[in-house]
Amino acid sequence: MRQRPPLTPIVGALPTTVPFVGPEAQERERGRPFRARIGANESSFGPSPRVIARMESVARDQWMYCDPDNFDLKVAAAAHHGVDVENVVVGEGIDGLLGLVARMYVAPGDAVVTSLGAYPTFNFHIAGVGGRLVTVPYADDKEDLDGLVAAVAREKAPLVYLSNPDNPMGSWWEAPDVIRFIEALPETTMLVLDEAYGELGPASALPPIDVARPNVVRMRTFSKAYGLAGIRCGYAVAEREVIRDFEKIRNHYGVSRMAQIAGVEALADQDYLNSVVARVAAGRRRIAAIAEENGLKPLPSATNFVTIDCGRDGAFALKVMQALLSRDVFIRKPMAPRLDRCIRVSVGLDHELDIFAEELPAALAAARGGN
């Protein structure tokens, strides 16, 4: 038997898993497409027409490498948030930036604090650098701020993760609560404040950006409200020295020329963004109404999805999800204890929500053993 080059001890010990099984993989396995793709929290409304036109106009220029400094996009993001260019770093979506944060602040064996059931890609990156994940259960379907602070103090954790608004529950904390949370953290603990859904929730949930504070990284993406999930582009805002540390290890050619141009145009078209936010709010109301018509409980949401309490345990909610998948409706669900009683439905186009409304009663009946 041939010998193999050895992996590092950290990678060798990792399971062969990924955080998500995408709808494309499920479609390949099923041998047919989904009729309603309402599970990945994408924006079915797509990007601004202005963005599309600009992308079409530069398609012939993609033979060139991207600007490794991401300069135009950093300038646009800095102006959008009222900070300096030196306070912004661009990456391959929030997922790419999370991988950099893990490398920057977590040594093998270090404790890292997050919520039990929160965004699994963060956990994936922590495992990849040998960190030790410490999880705090949700409280009343919200991330437990006091519990996170207590875990950080107990474990002397160098890194803590909070999403606000939250995935997978759609819940949120108001800005004063987030500020109190930040002030309660040790100065030596870096907070990743994931605001992927920030444009979709109430403005009152977003604290003012304070780039003088060296232990907070605020992350944003073009994948949600801006309708550009496919280009993989996001950015982080932080204190200057923190950004300089990102520059030490980031992939300088990781964000394509097309992605950088699209991001600049997306930020420039805030009127379109506002129209999408309104359509998402209407979609949330529609999903909530469908849930209530079927005897289920929709949870309040500040995102582009609605988490629906199925009223029983995780096994029942899993059956509901599987029944919808078998009816060509792609949704997802939380898997952590207490949260797993729910399914999660993204806002989609009208015809997709029509399909969801049509198929949910039969899916519930199948889950209950009716057929």
- The string of DSSP codes covering 160-226 is EEEESS-TTT-----HHHHHHHHHHS-TTSEEEEE-TTGGGS-GGGSPPP-TT-TTEEEEEESSSTT
Q: What is the pLDDT of residues 255-304, one digit of tens each?
A: 999 999 999 999 999 999 999 999 999 999 999 999 999 999 999 999 99
At 81 the three-state DSSP class reads helix
What is the pLDDT at residue 266? 98
The closest of 105, 206, 212 to 163, measured between CA atoms, is 206
The structure tokens listed for 116 are 């039990």
CA 115 to chain centre: 14
What is the pLDDT at residue 18? 79
The closest of 355, 176, 281, 367 to 343, measured between CA atoms, is 367
The structure tokens listed for 27 are 């479609």
pTM, two decimals, is: 0.96
C-beta of residue 337 within 8 angstroms of C-beta of residue 116? yes
The structure tokens listed for 319 are 């059956």
- The string of DSSP codes covering 307-348 is EEE-SS-HHHHHHHHHHHHHTTEE-B---STTGGGEEEEE--
At 133 the three-state DSSP class reads strand
Looking at this protein, which amino acid is placed at residue 1?
M
C-beta of residue 299 within 8 angstroms of C-beta of residue 170? yes
Q: What is the mean pLDDT of each run of 10 residues along the chain (371 residues)?
A: 92 87 93 96 97 98 98 98 98 98 98 98 97 98 98 98 98 98 98 98 97 98 98 98 98 97 98 98 98 98 98 98 98 97 98 98 93 51
Looking at this protein, which amino acid is placed at residue 340?
D
What is the pLDDT at residue 370? 60
Domains by residue range for the chain, with CATH: 21-46+271-367 (3.90.1150.10), 49-268 (3.40.640.10)
Q: Distance between CA atoms of 55 and 262, rounded to whole angstroms?
A: 6
The closest of 184, 192, 236, 198 to 215, measured between CA atoms, is 192
Q: Distance between CA atoms of 157 and 105, rounded to whole angstroms?
A: 10
Mutual angle of helices 314-326 and 350-367, in 10-degree steps? 130
Looking at this protein, which amino acid is placed at residue 232?
R
The closest of 192, 153, 152, 195 to 173, measured between CA atoms, is 195
What is the pLDDT at residue 19? 80
The structure tokens listed for 32 are 């047919």
